[in-house]
Structure 1
């Protein structure tokens, strides 16, 4: 519910003329809505040849392991 409210409030902010703030609020709402799906997306991207290698880079791999091992549901 919190993600949906933030997303639609962001759309409202864009429509009344606050595009930057509105897009930030929309991004937050989108992230909250789909954060439980993030571990599945990461495991799929690991199987793609070039993108999987990018996820194994030192800095990126620490971030990816954090999100992949802790589902946000």
Structure 2
């Protein structure tokens, strides 16, 4: 998920660092900030999350595991 600040800069640490460090591929790293932001948002606004059909998948999966990403509910 691409998330930018109001001034157009990337707000996640890994992507911002990849812009400054040659050879760093941000796609190969997991940004825990994005995962935590999603978890907080779904918890804070559960009705909106249900309307958007978002659900947190496998909360107990280790950080960086694809199963922890939000998935569309069927």
Q: Please report the TM-score for the alignment, with normalisation by the length of structure 2.
A: 0.34
Higher relative contact order (CA 8 A, sep 6+): 1
Q: Which has the larger radius of gyration?
A: 1
Q: Which has the higher helix share?
A: 1
TM-score, scaled relative to structure 1: 0.34
The structure with more strand, counted as a fraction of residues:
2
